[in-house]
Amino acid sequence: MSRLASGRRAAAWALAASVVLSAATVAVGAALPRVSYYLTSTLIVLFTLLPFFASFEGRRPQARELAVLAVLTALAVVSRAVFAWVPHFKPMAGIVTIAGMAAGPQAGFLVGALSALTSNFLFGQGPWTPWQMLAFGAAGLIGGALTRTRLFPSEGLSWGRRVALAVVGYLAVQLVVGPILDTSTLFYLMGSPTLELVVAIYAAGAPVNAIHGAATAATLLLAANPLLDQLARLRIKYGFLE
């Protein structure tokens, strides 16, 4: 069985397990009123992560590929730590997006999820960690989709393409990454669903997501070309990464 077929088979089994476990979690949460919305939603997020990890592991990545992904994960973690003194300014989503563009959607998701998990050893682990893993994993998944669909090349971006990529990165944070993080806050604060609380949480998150999106856009504008070109050289020299 080829690496691609193996990865797809593992992802299919993991997806089936994810659907069954998520449905069971919803049923149990509905039957037991004392079970918090946050616990139920966090478990569902954890189950959602399973297909991505299984798909990547199923294609049996090479040791050299894992080493590069580990370096990209470390770079993403450092980018978050270095700017910790600037409120909400996180270049990490930009680095993760670049990783996805170079290595593909599966690897990009893995880098994003592990970057969130690893960086929280510095910033604090908690029930919000799976939500952050999903949010930053989504950034890597989007990056991989951009090159997989040939909307952007995986190296040698022109100035116009870099500007367009920065805009896409900003929108990805505003429309995907940020709302996932805001939803985590919503479930954490919500004793019972109310429209007023939902509106208040997402409204309060809008300026935070704007700063986060600006950091992502700046990172893509300045760092995408150098990193993508270096990763392209590794791909040509050693024949790994998607």
Task: Give me the residue label for tokens 């997989």.
Answer: 148
**Predicted local distance difference test score (pLDDT) of residue 16:** 64
Q: What is the overall mean pLDDT for the chain? A: 82
**Predicted local distance difference test score (pLDDT) of residue 12:** 59
Task: Give me the residue label for tokens 């700063």.
Answer: 211
Q: d(Cα 3, Cα 18) in Å, to the nearest integer?
A: 22
**Predicted local distance difference test score (pLDDT) of residue 138:** 92
**Predicted local distance difference test score (pLDDT) of residue 115:** 93
| Helix, strand, coil percentages in the chain from 3-state DSSP, rounded to 5 | 80, 0, 20
Please name the helix (run of DSSP H) or strand (run of DSSP E) that holds residue 20, with its range, or none.
helix 3-31
Q: d(Cα 158, Cα 155) in Å, to the nearest integer?
A: 9
Please answer whether residues 180 and 53 qualify as being in contact, where contact means their C-beta atoms are separated by less than 8 angstroms.
no
Tens digits of residue pLDDT in 169-218? 999 999 999 999 998 888 777 666 678 888 888 999 999 999 999 999 99
Q: Decide: residue 149, CB within 10 A, 0-12 exposed, 13-18 middle, 19+ buried.
A: exposed
Which residues in 18-157 belong to E strands, given as ranges? none
Tens digits of residue pLDDT in 79-124? 999 998 888 899 999 999 999 999 888 889 989 998 998 998 888 8
Q: How many helices (H) and strands (E) does the chain have?
A: 9, 0
Give the mean model confidence (pLDDT) for residues 220-235.
Answer: 89
Residue 1, pLDDT above cutoff 60: no
Q: According to the per-residue pLDDT averaged within each range, which of 24-38, 148-162, 224-238 is highest? A: 148-162
DSSP state of 68: H
Q: Looking at the whole model, is its pTM more than 0.85?
A: no
- The closest alpha carbon to 136, from 80, 84, 193, belongs to 80
**Predicted local distance difference test score (pLDDT) of residue 239:** 61
Tens digits of residue pLDDT in 35-48? 566 677 777 777 77
- Residues 13, 16, 20: CA angle, nearest 5 degrees: 140
Tens digits of residue pLDDT in 15-64? 566 566 666 766 665 555 555 666 777 777 777 777 777 766 666 767 77
Look at 209 and 235; give whichever has higher pLDDT.
209
Please answer whether residues 88 and 223 qualify as being in contact, where contact means their C-beta atoms are separated by less than 8 angstroms.
no
**Predicted local distance difference test score (pLDDT) of residue 47:** 76
